[in-house]
């Protein structure tokens, strides 16, 4: 399902502040993050001591603690550096004169693009969480809670503006996020099957089309006025 010109405009409007923001941190910070991600992928979170990360990054333990404070701080920074936290911030940002349908379609398209770009990182965190790693479980739960909160606030904005039916925005957001994440996990670990094959399209394209259809159906079901596309 291709995004029409209007949805592409919404996506550019939402993403513009993030593109203008300079990357945080020093070269040392980036060295530590690269080393931590490589070692986490090799040995897992629990199996990778801080000292090994510091040695691989060419810094002292004290320097690593100065920048991140703990292994939990490192994982949080990895989420941030990959754009997940800024994307969640943008999800809550109202865009004047944009319908709920257009906003949802743009948000879904942006989310799929980001998650596909960072698939290896998400696969690492998800596998660690499924294996019972406490740190991975905590971080994934926090990310899911933040995602549901952002989606809930977005929906509530349209309810309060009289542009969506008076529903429980928190519950609707929870269900949609679980649907999205379940579909993405299926794609991540097994390729996924989201309806009839699309000629010349990848599994990523099929996932995107499936989630855009779901977002459009959700928007239509919530619309306070008849949908005009």
Q: Kindly report the CATH number that applies to the domain delimited by 25-77.
A: 1.10.10.60
Instruction: Over range 159-186, report the average pLDDT.
Output: 95
Kindly report the average pLDDT of the chain as a whole number: 85
**What are the start and end residues of each CATH 1.10.10.60 domain in the chain?**
25-77
CATH topology of domain 82-229: Tetracycline Repressor; domain 2 (1.10.357)
> According to CATH, where is 1.10.357.10 located in the chain?
82-229
Weakest mean pLDDT among 5-14, 148-157, 181-190, 219-228: 5-14
Strand partners, 119: none
Residue 145 vs residues 45, 87, 88, 172, 173: alpha-carbon distances, Å = 21, 14, 11, 14, 10
DSSP string, 128-185: HHHTT-HHHHHHHHHHHHHHHHHHHHHHHHHHHTTSB-S--HHHHHHHHHHHHHHHHH
Residues whose CB is less than 8 angstroms from the CB of residue 25 and which lie 6 or more positions away in sequence, other chains included: 67
Say if residue 172 is exposed, middle or buried (CB neighbours under 10 Å; 0-12, 13-18, 19+): buried
Check residue 188 and give its pLDDT. Answer: 82
- pTM of the predicted protein model: 0.80
Using CA atoms, how far residue 228 sits from 83, 106, 224, in Å, is: 33, 17, 12
Phi first, then psi, for residue 44 (nearest 5°) are 80, 170
DSSP label at 59? S
Average pLDDT over residues 115-127: 91
Return phi, psi of residue 200, to 5°: 70, 15
Residue 40 backbone phi and psi in degrees, to 5: -60, -40
Find the helix or strand (DSSP H, E) in which 65 lies: helix 61-68
Confidence grade of residue 26 (pLDDT, cut at 50, 70, 90) = confident
- pLDDT for the residue numbered 152: 96
CB 62 within 8 A of CB 97: no
Q: What is the distance between the alpha carbons of residues 195 and 183, in angstroms, rounded to a whole number?
A: 12
Q: Is the pLDDT of residue 104 over 90?
A: yes
């Amino acid at each position: 399902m291709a995004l029409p010109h209007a949805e592409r405009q919404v996506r550019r409007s939402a993403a513009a502040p993030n593109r203008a923001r300079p990357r945080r941190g020093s070269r040392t910070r980036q060295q530590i993050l690269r080393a931590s991600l490589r070692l986490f992928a090799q040995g897992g979170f629990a199996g990778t001591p801080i000292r090994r990360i510091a040695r691989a990054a060419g810094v002292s333990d004290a320097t690593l603690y100065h920048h991140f404070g703990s292994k939990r701080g490192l994982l949080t920074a990895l989420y941030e550096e990959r754009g997940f936290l800024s994307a969640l911030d943008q999800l809550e940002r109202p865009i004047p004169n944009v319908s709920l349908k257009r906003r949802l379609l743009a948000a879904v398209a942006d989310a799929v693009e980001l998650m596909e770009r960072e698939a290896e990182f998400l696969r690492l965190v998800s596998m660690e969480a499924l294996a019972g790693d406490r740190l991975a479980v905590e971080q994934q739960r926090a990310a899911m809670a933040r995602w549901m909160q952002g989606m809930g606030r977005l929906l509530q904005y349209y309810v309060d503006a009289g542009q969506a039916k008076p529903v429980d925005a928190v519950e609707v957001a929870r269900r949609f996020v679980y649907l999205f994440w379940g579909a993405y996990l299926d794609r991540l670990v097994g390729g996924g099957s989201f309806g009839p094959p699309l000629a010349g399209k990848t599994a990523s394209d099929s996932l995107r089309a499936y989630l855009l259809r779901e977002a459009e159906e959700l928007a239509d079901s919530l619309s306070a006025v008849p949908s005009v596309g």
